[in-house]
């Protein structure tokens, strides 16, 4: 492959997107393809700040949305784009769909609150602040019931602020509605890990006519 290709694997917490990003990367490297694996929140400064915010509930929801969008601008323009220009297949664990799903779900909660200063925050605004980066070439949404995904978590590690079934149910709904309207590939996250990895690999291979 001479031209870069940008793949995103997204989904609710513990859907398996991190595992599948690594699996796809491994399979492509075996085929001699240049691969760059990355994730959001990124390793850039705003991403590091976000990791801290995720451990406590203190950030106002608009701060979350703006920081995720700011991190993405830096992530795309300083890291993803240069790698694509060098001909890498870039695979990101999470990207814009995460913000649309999570931050719109946060906004929905505030639209119902009488005195919230964030009543006017909605999906359109989340889309607007994410307009500084382009869409990927291919997006996979790993779909799973939050009851199943959260049960997979190591019980000794504290949950982050978005990890509740009720909240993730709303996030999941938005991911699925968007995926259906934008033709993202929805993959059943309840299937065995290797089966999911094969589905993702085959979809990508067919799309770029990669030889088996
Ligand atoms: P992780 O669990 O994949 O490390 O992601 C961290 C958390 O951040 C996860 O709960 C999803 C959330 N998140 C957003 O709310 N918006 C975003 O734009 C991104 C990238 C992540």
| Digit-coded pLDDT (tens) for 89-148 | 999 999 999 999 999 999 999 988 888 999 999 999 999 999 999 999 999 999 999 999
Q: Are 166 and 35 in contact (CB under 8 A)?
A: no
Nearest to 137, CA basis, from 46, 1, 45? 1
Q: How far apart are CA 197 and CA 45, in angstroms?
A: 31
Q: How confident is the model over 135-167, as pLDDT tens digits?
A: 999 999 999 999 999 998 888 888 888 999 999
Distance 145 CA to ligand 1 centre (A): 17
Question: Quick one: what percent of the chain has pLDDT higher than 90?
Answer: 84
Domains of the chain: 5-211 (3.40.50.300)
Q: Write out residues with Cβ below 6 Å of ligand 1.
A: 13, 40-41, 54, 68, 94, 98-99, 102-103, 160, 162
User: What pLDDT, on the 0 to 100 scale, is given for residue 22?
Assistant: 98
pTM for the predicted model, two decimal places:
0.96
Question: Residue with structure tokens 């793949």?
Answer: 7
User: Is residue 68 very low, low, confident or very high in pLDDT (cuts 50, 70, 90)?
Assistant: very high
Distance 169 CA to ligand 1 centre (A): 15
Distance 40 CA to ligand 1 centre (A): 7
Which ranges of the chain would DSSP assign to H, the alpha helix?
17-30, 45-54, 61-75, 81-85, 96-111, 123-129, 146-151, 165-182, 193-208
């Amino acid at each position: 492959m001479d031209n870069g290709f940008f793949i995103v694997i997204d989904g609710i917490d513990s859907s398996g997107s991190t595992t599948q990003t690594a699996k796809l990367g491994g399979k492509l490297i075996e085929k001699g393809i240049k691969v760059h694996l990355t994730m959001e929140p990124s390793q850039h400064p705003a991403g590091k700040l976000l990791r801290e915010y995720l451990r406590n509930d203190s950030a106002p929801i608009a701060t979350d949305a703006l920081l995720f969008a700011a991190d993405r601008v830096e992530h795309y323009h300083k890291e993803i784009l240069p790698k694509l220009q060098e001909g890498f297949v870039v695979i990101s664990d999470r990207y814009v769909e995460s913000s649309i799903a999570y931050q719109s779900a946060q906004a929905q909660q505030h639209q119902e609150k009488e005195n919230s200063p964030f009543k006017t925050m909605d999906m359109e605004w989340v889309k607007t602040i994410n307009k500084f980066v382009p869409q990927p070439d291919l997006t996979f949404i790993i779909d799973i019931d939050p009851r199943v995904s959260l049960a997979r978590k190591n019980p000794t590690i504290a949950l982050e602020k978005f990890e509740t079934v009720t909240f993730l149910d709303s996030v999941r709904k938005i991911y699925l509605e968007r995926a259906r309207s934008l033709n993202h590939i929805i993959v059943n996250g309840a299937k065995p890990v290797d089966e999911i990895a094969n589905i993702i690999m085959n979809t990508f291979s067919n799309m770029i006519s990669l030889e088996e």
